Amino acid sequence: MLTLLRAIFNIIAIPAIILVIIIALCTSNQTITLPQWQLNNSDIQRAQNILYATQQANTDAINLTLTEHDLNIASSYLLNRYANSRSHIQINPDFIYFRLIFTLANNLFGRYVDIRFQLHISPDSHPHIKNLKIGKIAIADRYAGFLIAKAIAYTRLNQYLTLFKQHLKEIHLENKQLQFKYQLPNSARSRIQQLLSPSIDADALAQYQAKLETTISRHNTVWLLSLANLLQPLFELAQQRSTTGNAIAENRLVIFVVNNYVNHYQHTTATQQYYPAYLYRRTDMAQHFMLSASLSALGNSHLAQIIGQEKELNDAKKGNGFSFIDLAADRAGVYFGKYATANLEQALKIQKKMATIKNYQAFMPRVSDLPEKLDIINFTTQYQSIYSPKYQAILKEIDRRIAASEIYQ
């Protein structure tokens, strides 16, 4: 009997011990530094052109030539859709080197997973993976492709890559550039767009849209339409609809619907009447807030920060001037979207808070004392650059005010 118990223990314990060892070797608590790809407006536009090249209206073959810089900004843009992911890509004469860093939640083993591999591309064979390493574990080449494929199989990216592989006509490396050609039928093009967009529950969307339209129809036109008057009833509905399994998705959908209305995307809303939404009697603040909240709720908080800052810098050069007030609305939206979708506890908390708010000061602090309308000369004279201590001090003060808002307490 004792022998049988020992055998059973070994059968149960040995695989568990092996798994623990593997996890410990795959993860690390050592901070890993990679080159930082700070995306500007042109980088963002280039990344979108690469990832959304399938939007061409005809069925002609699509030819893309990508430099090392192109690959890195496209990867950075895409990974900004997912929290705590970084990458670095290098093009060599006959292979592309990838290094991906994923940050995990706090655990007993390690916070970081470091994945490195080479994608070899040669004229006489299909692209294949070599020298795969996950943390301290080196994977034999014959298993590398299988493991990567299995890892991707459990993500939406799998369908995206499968469509490309099915319709890929040509791929090769030349002069440190990746060149490839593919041709997608119209059905595949629309599927690609769906995969790059967030999945949406059509029935839930219809309910939130109906709630929004009812809210708009009851608006007293004597008063300006407060952004709080749009968000409050939709979060009330989210609180009614939410369970422990869908609260985050419900919050994301509320933000999506309100952003579509506030920024007046007519092709995505059936609302017949349109009234501009306001924060502190300013429509631009409401627009900044909701656009940033929408991006952040989709996992693009870093991208939202970049877009907001780049817009203000461009306004300083050739617009109405740099506005720390608009930038504050951007940062408040980023905080809001990120907080509302970070985890179940915060998702439920913000629903309860937002369902009973009285005004927009609950989520958007007063920032009227901040500088604005700074042309590039005045901005440079006063703040030198976005990296100066004086500029960073203002951002720190903005973030302090946002964090002190009622709904986060």
DSSP E strand boundaries for 18-175: 27-28, 62-66, 85-91, 95-103, 112-122, 125-134, 137-139, 168-174
Q: Under the phi-then-psi rule, with left for phi > 0, alpha for psi from -120 to 50, and beta for the rest, what region is 356?
A: alpha
372 near 280, Cβ under 8 Å? no
**Per-residue model confidence (pLDDT) at position 78:** 67
**Per-residue model confidence (pLDDT) at position 271:** 47
110 near 90, Cβ under 8 Å? no
**Per-residue model confidence (pLDDT) at position 269:** 46
Query: In terms of Cα–Cα distance, which of 233, 232, 241 is closest to 201?
Result: 241
pTM score, whole prediction: 0.62
Q: Which tokens go with 151? A: 């890892």
Instruction: Calculate the alpha carbon distances from 69 to 32, 40, 52, 117, 203 in Å.
Output: 21, 13, 17, 18, 41
Residue 73, number of CB atoms within 10 A of its CB: 24
360 near 279, Cβ under 8 Å? yes
**Per-residue model confidence (pLDDT) at position 157:** 60
351 near 235, Cβ under 8 Å? yes
Pure H helices in 67-183? 68-79, 141-153, 157-167
3-class SS at 402?
A: helix
The residue extents of the domains of the chain are: 14-196, 202-408
Alpha-carbon distance of 302 to 78, in angstroms, equals 11
**Per-residue model confidence (pLDDT) at position 67:** 87
Residue with tokens 């591309």: 121
Q: Which residues of 326-337 are buried (b: 16+ CB within 10 A; e: fewer)?
A: bbbbbbbbbbbb
Parallel, antiparallel, or unpaired: how do β-strands 225-226 and 277-278 relate? parallel
- Which H or E element spans position 232? helix 227-241
Instruction: Calculate the alpha carbon distances from 381 to 314, 374, 391, 396 in Å.
Output: 16, 10, 12, 20
Question: Tens-of-pLDDT digits for all 409 residues of the chain?
Answer: 445 445 444 444 445 555 555 566 667 777 767 666 656 656 666 776 776 665 554 456 778 888 888 888 777 766 655 445 678 888 988 898 988 887 766 666 677 788 888 888 877 767 888 888 888 888 888 877 777 777 766 665 666 666 666 667 778 888 888 887 776 665 555 555 554 455 567 788 888 989 999 999 999 988 999 999 999 999 999 999 988 888 998 999 999 999 989 987 544 444 467 899 999 999 999 999 998 998 888 777 776 777 788 788 888 888 789 999 999 999 999 999 999 998 899 999 999 999 999 999 999 999 999 999 988 999 998 988 888 999 999 999 999 999 999 999 9
**Per-residue model confidence (pLDDT) at position 42:** 66
DSSP string, 142-166: HHHHHHHHHHHHTSTHHHHHHHHHH
Alpha-carbon distance of 117 to 234, in angstroms, equals 46
**Per-residue model confidence (pLDDT) at position 9:** 47
Whether the CA torsion 329, 334, 337, 339 is positive or negative: it is negative
Torsion of CA 338, 340, 343, 349, to 10 degrees: 140
